[in-house]
Structure 1
Amino acid sequence: MKKILSVVIAMVLIGGGVWGCFSYKKHEVKEAVHEYLIKKGTQENQIKVLDPFIANLEGDKNLLVAVRLKNDKKTYYYYKDQSKNKFVLESYALNGQEYVQ
């Protein structure tokens, strides 16, 4: 009984650790993109949505942030290029059509 309980606890801790790691990374990239947009000149009240997600792409593109601005029908997808320490517009979507940069 103790072995089963130990295995269950270990699995819960490992699963929670993995989930926590991804949640932290998503939050970190969301805040970094938010700061980038503000520094670029986008006003705080113009930012409608910042939605980080796992894109299942290679390297730094795995974590993207979807950005929607007021009075703009496009959805922009940014990621942080860790090697150059800069933000890159990966693509944007307009009316369901995606345009890769």
Structure 2
Amino acid sequence: MKRKFRIIISIILMIGIGISGYIFYAKNKLESDVIEHVMVEMNIPTESIESSEAFIANLPGLRNYMVSIKIENDTNTYFYYKNKNDDIILESYTDENGEEYIMD
């Protein structure tokens, strides 16, 4: 009985570690891809990126994982996601008053 219990607990732990590991990897990969996109496509140096944060947005489909980017000397915060073609898409931005502007 104890052995079955240990096996079940071990399986549950492995599944939990696997899921949280995947989420951690997906968020970090997206964050690095978005930073690279901002640097290359928008011609913004790394030093000008004040903050970047990958997060789970709880939105449907591919917008579940998003990255917020704050750029030096810019009051807006930009939110990016990756579509099924691996293109980085600007989903929305917020201005200094906290008003959100959706791009799609």
Structure 1 length as normaliser, TM-score? 0.93
Runs of 4+ in 1 over 2 A off after TM superposition: none
Query: Matches of 1:4 and 1:52 in 2, distance apart?
Result: 37
AA partner of residue 99 (structure 1): Y
Matches within 5 A, 1:1-101: 1-40=2-41, 41-83=43-85, 85-94=86-95, 95-101=97-103
Q: As a proportion of its length, which structure holds more strand?
A: 1
Which sections of structure 2, spanning at least 5 residues, go unmatched?
none
SS in 2 for 1:82: coil
Q: Sequence identity of aligned pairs in percent? A: 33
RMSD: 1.0
TM-score by length of 2: 0.90
Q: CA deviation at 1:36?
A: 0.5
Number of residues of Structure 1 aligned to a counterpart in Structure 2? 100
Q: Point out where structure 1 has 5 or more consecutive residues left out of the alignment.
A: none
